[in-house]
Copies of this chain bind each other. A is one copy, B any other.
Amino acid sequence: MASNSFGDLFRITTFGESHGPALGVVIDGCPSGISLSEDDLLPDLRRRRPGQSAMASARKEEDKPIILSGVFEGKTTGMPITVIVENKDQRPQDYDLLRKAFRPGHADATYAAKYEHRDHRGGGRSSGRETVARVIAGTIARKILPIDTKVIGHTIKIGPHEAKTFNLESIEQNPVRCADPSAAKQMEEYVLELKEKFNSTGGLIEVRVTGTPPNLGDPVFGKLKARLADALMSIGAVTGFSYGSGFDVAAMKGVDYISDRKHFGGILGGISTGEDMVLHISVKPPSSLGEVAKRGRHDSCIVPRVIPVAEAMVAIVLADCYLLQRTYANFTNHPSS
Protein backbone atom coordinates (compact mmCIF):
# COMPACT_ATOMS: atom_id res chain seq x y z
CA MET A 1 0.00 0.00 0.00
CA ALA A 2 2.79 2.36 -0.87
CA SER A 3 3.96 2.34 2.73
CA ASN A 4 7.21 4.03 1.75
CA SER A 5 5.37 6.99 0.29
CA PHE A 6 3.90 9.98 2.12
CA GLY A 7 1.75 12.85 0.94
CA ASP A 8 -0.79 13.33 -1.81
CA LEU A 9 0.07 16.18 -4.17
CA PHE A 10 3.60 16.65 -2.83
CA ARG A 11 4.38 12.97 -2.53
CA ILE A 12 7.65 11.54 -1.32
CA THR A 13 8.84 7.95 -1.70
CA THR A 14 11.91 7.03 0.33
CA PHE A 15 14.16 4.04 -0.17
CA GLY A 16 17.44 2.55 0.94
CA GLU A 17 18.94 0.75 3.90
CA SER A 18 21.48 2.07 6.38
CA HIS A 19 24.11 -0.34 5.08
CA GLY A 20 23.13 -0.69 1.43
CA PRO A 21 24.74 1.22 -1.43
CA ALA A 22 22.58 4.34 -1.14
CA LEU A 23 19.51 5.97 0.37
CA GLY A 24 17.25 8.36 -1.41
CA VAL A 25 13.92 9.92 -2.13
CA VAL A 26 11.69 10.49 -5.14
CA ILE A 27 9.49 13.58 -4.89
CA ASP A 28 6.50 13.57 -7.22
CA GLY A 29 4.30 16.62 -7.58
CA CYS A 30 6.79 19.43 -6.95
CA PRO A 31 5.83 22.44 -9.10
CA SER A 32 8.16 23.40 -11.94
CA GLY A 33 10.32 26.50 -11.90
CA ILE A 34 11.65 26.27 -8.34
CA SER A 35 15.39 26.84 -8.04
CA LEU A 36 17.15 23.79 -6.65
CA SER A 37 20.76 22.65 -6.41
CA GLU A 38 22.61 19.98 -4.49
CA ASP A 39 24.15 22.70 -2.35
CA ASP A 40 20.70 23.84 -1.25
CA LEU A 41 20.27 20.47 0.41
CA LEU A 42 23.43 20.57 2.50
CA PRO A 43 22.49 22.82 5.44
CA ASP A 44 19.60 20.68 6.65
CA LEU A 45 21.55 17.48 6.01
CA ARG A 46 24.40 18.81 8.13
CA ARG A 47 21.98 19.55 10.96
CA ARG A 48 20.84 15.93 10.84
CA ARG A 49 24.35 14.52 10.62
CA PRO A 50 25.75 12.62 13.56
CA GLY A 51 29.23 13.20 14.87
CA GLN A 52 28.73 16.90 15.48
CA SER A 53 29.58 16.63 19.11
CA ALA A 54 30.81 14.20 21.68
CA MET A 55 27.17 13.38 22.41
CA ALA A 56 26.51 11.73 19.13
CA SER A 57 27.69 8.61 17.32
CA ALA A 58 31.02 8.84 15.57
CA ARG A 59 29.76 7.82 12.15
CA LYS A 60 31.32 10.25 9.74
CA GLU A 61 29.67 9.88 6.36
CA GLU A 62 29.36 13.14 4.51
CA ASP A 63 25.82 12.76 3.20
CA LYS A 64 26.54 14.33 -0.14
CA PRO A 65 23.26 14.58 -2.06
CA ILE A 66 23.21 13.71 -5.76
CA ILE A 67 20.25 14.91 -7.82
CA LEU A 68 19.41 12.21 -10.38
CA SER A 69 16.30 13.70 -11.97
CA GLY A 70 13.74 16.49 -12.06
CA VAL A 71 16.09 19.48 -12.20
CA PHE A 72 17.35 21.18 -15.37
CA GLU A 73 19.49 24.30 -15.53
CA GLY A 74 19.00 24.90 -11.79
CA LYS A 75 15.20 24.75 -11.79
CA THR A 76 12.71 22.01 -11.04
CA THR A 77 10.95 20.79 -14.18
CA GLY A 78 7.72 19.38 -12.77
CA MET A 79 9.06 15.85 -13.26
CA PRO A 80 9.87 13.58 -10.29
CA ILE A 81 12.90 14.79 -8.36
CA THR A 82 15.22 12.03 -7.23
CA VAL A 83 18.04 12.61 -4.78
CA ILE A 84 20.33 9.93 -3.45
CA VAL A 85 23.06 9.83 -0.83
CA GLU A 86 25.63 7.08 -1.07
CA ASN A 87 26.59 5.16 2.04
CA LYS A 88 30.35 5.55 2.25
CA ASP A 89 31.23 4.75 5.82
CA GLN A 90 29.84 1.25 6.06
CA ARG A 91 31.30 -0.90 8.78
CA PRO A 92 29.08 -3.97 8.77
CA GLN A 93 31.71 -5.95 10.67
CA ASP A 94 30.77 -3.87 13.69
CA TYR A 95 27.41 -5.46 13.47
CA ASP A 96 28.55 -9.04 13.19
CA LEU A 97 27.81 -9.65 16.81
CA LEU A 98 24.22 -8.84 15.93
CA ARG A 99 23.90 -11.56 13.34
CA LYS A 100 22.06 -13.79 15.72
CA ALA A 101 21.13 -11.44 18.53
CA PHE A 102 17.91 -9.48 18.64
CA ARG A 103 18.44 -6.18 20.36
CA PRO A 104 15.76 -5.43 22.96
CA GLY A 105 13.65 -2.37 22.13
CA HIS A 106 14.71 -2.50 18.47
CA ALA A 107 12.78 -3.35 15.34
CA ASP A 108 14.98 -6.42 14.72
CA ALA A 109 12.53 -9.02 15.94
CA THR A 110 9.37 -7.54 14.42
CA TYR A 111 11.04 -7.05 11.04
CA ALA A 112 12.32 -10.63 11.10
CA ALA A 113 8.87 -11.98 11.97
CA LYS A 114 7.03 -9.87 9.42
CA TYR A 115 9.41 -10.19 6.50
CA GLU A 116 10.53 -13.72 7.32
CA HIS A 117 14.18 -12.86 6.87
CA ARG A 118 16.93 -11.20 8.87
CA ASP A 119 19.00 -8.20 7.88
CA HIS A 120 21.30 -7.76 10.85
CA ARG A 121 23.26 -4.85 9.41
CA GLY A 122 22.28 -2.09 11.78
CA GLY A 123 18.57 -1.99 11.24
CA GLY A 124 18.12 -1.56 7.51
CA ARG A 125 15.05 0.59 6.97
CA SER A 126 14.42 0.89 10.71
CA SER A 127 17.70 2.71 11.14
CA GLY A 128 17.64 6.43 11.82
CA ARG A 129 19.71 6.77 8.69
CA GLU A 130 16.50 6.46 6.64
CA THR A 131 15.65 9.98 7.76
CA VAL A 132 18.30 11.41 5.44
CA ALA A 133 15.70 11.07 2.68
CA ARG A 134 13.06 12.88 4.72
CA VAL A 135 15.36 15.80 5.47
CA ILE A 136 16.12 16.23 1.75
CA ALA A 137 12.42 16.23 0.93
CA GLY A 138 11.76 18.66 3.74
CA THR A 139 14.22 21.19 2.36
CA ILE A 140 12.42 21.09 -0.97
CA ALA A 141 9.01 21.30 0.74
CA ARG A 142 10.10 24.52 2.47
CA LYS A 143 10.80 26.04 -0.94
CA ILE A 144 7.15 25.58 -1.89
CA LEU A 145 5.79 27.29 1.21
CA PRO A 146 5.44 31.08 1.43
CA ILE A 147 8.73 32.70 2.33
CA ASP A 148 7.47 33.85 5.73
CA THR A 149 6.42 30.37 6.81
CA LYS A 150 9.03 29.16 9.28
CA VAL A 151 9.17 25.68 10.81
CA ILE A 152 11.36 25.70 13.89
CA GLY A 153 12.07 22.73 16.14
CA HIS A 154 13.82 22.87 19.49
CA THR A 155 14.40 20.67 22.51
CA ILE A 156 12.27 21.45 25.54
CA LYS A 157 13.18 18.55 27.77
CA ILE A 158 15.90 15.95 28.15
CA GLY A 159 15.68 13.68 31.19
CA PRO A 160 14.92 15.86 34.18
CA HIS A 161 16.03 19.10 32.51
CA GLU A 162 13.46 21.44 30.98
CA ALA A 163 13.80 24.61 28.92
CA LYS A 164 12.36 27.62 30.71
CA THR A 165 12.98 30.42 28.23
CA PHE A 166 12.75 30.70 24.45
CA ASN A 167 15.63 32.37 22.67
CA LEU A 168 15.40 31.61 18.96
CA GLU A 169 19.03 32.42 18.29
CA SER A 170 20.28 29.98 20.91
CA ILE A 171 18.84 26.87 19.31
CA GLU A 172 21.64 26.17 16.86
CA GLN A 173 24.31 27.38 19.26
CA ASN A 174 24.26 24.36 21.52
CA PRO A 175 24.49 20.65 20.70
CA VAL A 176 21.11 19.82 22.25
CA ARG A 177 19.24 22.45 20.18
CA CYS A 178 17.63 24.03 23.22
CA ALA A 179 16.34 27.61 23.08
CA ASP A 180 17.22 28.10 26.74
CA PRO A 181 21.03 28.38 26.98
CA SER A 182 21.26 27.52 30.65
CA ALA A 183 18.99 24.46 30.38
CA ALA A 184 21.02 23.49 27.32
CA LYS A 185 24.16 23.35 29.42
CA GLN A 186 22.49 21.01 31.95
CA MET A 187 21.06 18.81 29.22
CA GLU A 188 24.45 18.48 27.54
CA GLU A 189 26.16 17.46 30.75
CA TYR A 190 23.40 14.98 31.50
CA VAL A 191 23.77 13.32 28.09
CA LEU A 192 27.56 13.09 28.34
CA GLU A 193 27.28 11.50 31.75
CA LEU A 194 24.93 8.84 30.37
CA LYS A 195 27.16 8.30 27.36
CA GLU A 196 30.07 7.37 29.58
CA LYS A 197 27.88 4.69 31.13
CA PHE A 198 26.68 3.47 27.71
CA ASN A 199 23.22 4.50 28.85
CA SER A 200 20.84 6.89 27.06
CA THR A 201 17.95 9.34 27.54
CA GLY A 202 14.73 10.45 25.90
CA GLY A 203 13.39 13.96 25.49
CA LEU A 204 10.72 16.31 24.28
CA ILE A 205 10.67 18.43 21.13
CA GLU A 206 8.51 21.42 20.30
CA VAL A 207 7.93 22.41 16.67
CA ARG A 208 6.66 25.94 16.15
CA VAL A 209 5.34 27.16 12.84
CA THR A 210 5.12 30.90 12.30
CA GLY A 211 3.61 32.53 9.25
CA THR A 212 1.40 29.46 8.79
CA PRO A 213 -0.85 29.77 5.74
CA PRO A 214 -4.50 29.64 6.81
CA ASN A 215 -7.07 27.13 5.48
CA LEU A 216 -4.73 24.13 5.41
CA GLY A 217 -6.16 20.72 6.29
CA ASP A 218 -9.22 18.90 5.00
CA PRO A 219 -12.02 17.47 7.12
CA VAL A 220 -12.75 14.86 8.15
CA PHE A 221 -9.81 12.47 7.62
CA GLY A 222 -7.33 14.97 6.20
CA LYS A 223 -7.47 17.23 9.24
CA LEU A 224 -4.20 19.09 9.63
CA LYS A 225 -3.70 17.72 13.15
CA ALA A 226 -4.20 14.13 11.90
CA ARG A 227 -1.79 14.58 9.00
CA LEU A 228 0.83 16.11 11.28
CA ALA A 229 0.37 13.27 13.78
CA ASP A 230 0.75 10.72 11.00
CA ALA A 231 3.87 12.47 9.72
CA LEU A 232 5.60 12.86 13.06
CA MET A 233 4.61 9.47 14.48
CA SER A 234 6.19 7.89 11.40
CA ILE A 235 9.60 8.88 12.79
CA GLY A 236 11.09 5.82 14.43
CA ALA A 237 11.79 7.12 17.92
CA VAL A 238 8.67 9.20 18.42
CA THR A 239 6.18 7.86 20.98
CA GLY A 240 3.67 10.70 21.31
CA PHE A 241 2.23 13.70 19.47
CA SER A 242 0.14 16.64 20.58
CA TYR A 243 -0.76 20.12 19.40
CA GLY A 244 -1.74 23.24 21.28
CA SER A 245 -2.42 22.39 24.90
CA GLY A 246 -2.15 18.70 24.09
CA PHE A 247 -2.55 16.33 27.02
CA ASP A 248 -3.07 19.26 29.42
CA VAL A 249 -6.65 19.64 28.13
CA ALA A 250 -7.64 16.58 30.16
CA ALA A 251 -7.61 18.73 33.29
CA MET A 252 -9.01 21.89 31.72
CA LYS A 253 -12.43 23.42 32.01
CA GLY A 254 -14.12 24.75 28.89
CA VAL A 255 -14.12 28.38 30.01
CA ASP A 256 -10.40 28.22 30.60
CA TYR A 257 -9.73 26.38 27.35
CA ILE A 258 -11.42 28.96 25.15
CA SER A 259 -10.00 31.89 27.11
CA ASP A 260 -6.64 31.74 25.32
CA ARG A 261 -6.36 30.97 21.60
CA LYS A 262 -2.86 29.58 22.25
CA HIS A 263 -4.58 26.47 23.59
CA PHE A 264 -5.89 25.77 20.06
CA GLY A 265 -2.35 25.48 18.70
CA GLY A 266 -3.25 27.29 15.47
CA ILE A 267 -5.71 24.58 14.34
CA LEU A 268 -9.52 24.67 14.65
CA GLY A 269 -11.83 22.10 13.10
CA GLY A 270 -8.74 20.43 11.67
CA ILE A 271 -7.92 23.55 9.62
CA SER A 272 -5.07 26.01 10.18
CA THR A 273 -6.21 29.39 11.44
CA GLY A 274 -3.12 31.25 10.23
CA GLU A 275 -1.93 31.73 13.81
CA ASP A 276 1.30 30.18 15.09
CA MET A 277 1.16 26.41 15.26
CA VAL A 278 2.66 24.58 18.25
CA LEU A 279 3.33 20.85 18.19
CA HIS A 280 5.01 18.51 20.67
CA ILE A 281 6.56 15.09 20.23
CA SER A 282 8.19 12.74 22.71
CA VAL A 283 11.36 10.89 21.73
CA LYS A 284 12.32 7.64 23.38
CA PRO A 285 15.83 6.87 24.65
CA PRO A 286 17.98 4.86 22.21
CA SER A 287 17.92 1.15 22.97
CA SER A 288 21.50 0.42 21.97
CA LEU A 289 23.16 0.17 25.32
CA GLY A 290 26.04 -1.47 27.11
CA GLU A 291 28.11 -3.80 24.93
CA VAL A 292 26.15 -2.98 21.78
CA ALA A 293 26.65 0.74 22.26
CA LYS A 294 30.37 0.23 22.78
CA ARG A 295 30.82 -1.56 19.47
CA GLY A 296 28.47 0.19 17.06
CA ARG A 297 28.03 3.86 16.38
CA HIS A 298 25.21 4.92 18.61
CA ASP A 299 23.89 8.06 20.19
CA SER A 300 23.07 8.51 23.86
CA CYS A 301 20.39 11.03 22.96
CA ILE A 302 18.94 11.46 19.50
CA VAL A 303 16.61 14.32 20.39
CA PRO A 304 18.70 17.05 18.70
CA ARG A 305 19.07 14.94 15.58
CA VAL A 306 15.33 14.23 15.42
CA ILE A 307 14.66 17.99 15.25
CA PRO A 308 15.56 18.51 11.56
CA VAL A 309 13.63 15.35 10.72
CA ALA A 310 10.54 16.57 12.57
CA GLU A 311 10.82 19.95 10.89
CA ALA A 312 11.08 18.19 7.52
CA MET A 313 7.96 16.10 8.12
CA VAL A 314 5.99 19.20 9.20
CA ALA A 315 7.18 21.11 6.12
CA ILE A 316 6.15 18.20 3.88
CA VAL A 317 2.64 18.13 5.35
CA LEU A 318 2.28 21.89 5.03
CA ALA A 319 3.55 21.95 1.44
CA ASP A 320 1.14 19.16 0.51
CA CYS A 321 -1.85 20.94 2.09
CA TYR A 322 -0.74 24.26 0.62
CA LEU A 323 -0.73 22.84 -2.90
CA LEU A 324 -4.14 21.28 -2.36
CA GLN A 325 -5.57 24.55 -1.07
CA ARG A 326 -4.39 26.28 -4.28
CA THR A 327 -6.80 23.99 -6.15
CA TYR A 328 -9.87 25.02 -4.22
CA ALA A 329 -9.28 28.61 -3.10
CA ASN A 330 -11.19 31.16 -5.16
CA PHE A 331 -12.70 28.56 -7.42
CA THR A 332 -14.40 30.87 -9.86
CA ASN A 333 -17.23 29.02 -11.33
CA HIS A 334 -18.51 29.43 -14.85
CA PRO A 335 -21.81 31.26 -15.35
CA SER A 336 -24.01 28.23 -15.91
CA SER A 337 -23.41 26.44 -12.70
Nearest B residue to A104 by beta-carbon distance?
B258
**Within 8 Å CB of A221, what residues of B?**
3-6, 14, 230, 234
Which residues of B lie under 8 Å from residue A121 when comparing CB positions? Answer: 72
Q: Are A269 and B126 in contact (CB under 8 A)?
A: yes
Indicate if the CB atoms of A116 and B33 lie closer than 8 Å: yes
Partner among B32, B201, B280, B325 whose Cβ is within 8 Å of the Cβ of A253: B201
Q: Which residue of B lies closest to A335 (CB)?
A: B147
Q: Do the beta carbons of A15 and B82 come within 8 Å of each other? A: yes
For residue A310, give the distance in angstroms from its CB to the closest CB of chain B: 13
Kindly state whether residue A42 has any CB partner on chain B within 8 Å: no
Oligomeric state, in copies: 4
Contact: A110 with B159, CB < 8 Å?
no
Q: List 22 A-B contacts (CB under 8 A).
A: A3-B219, A4-B219, A13-B26, A13-B28, A14-B80, A21-B69, A36-B337, A147-B334, A202-B250, A203-B250, A204-B247, A225-B238, A226-B231, A226-B233, A227-B230, A229-B233, A239-B242, A239-B247, A247-B247, A247-B280, A250-B283, A323-B327
Q: Give A residues with C-beta under 8 Å from B.
A: 1-6, 8-9, 11, 13-17, 20-24, 26, 28-29, 31-36, 66-70, 72, 75, 77-82, 84, 104-111, 113-117, 119, 121, 124-126, 130, 143-147, 157-160, 194, 199-204, 214-215, 218-223, 225-234, 236, 238-255, 257-258, 264-265, 268-273, 280, 282-289, 300, 323-328, 330-331, 333-337
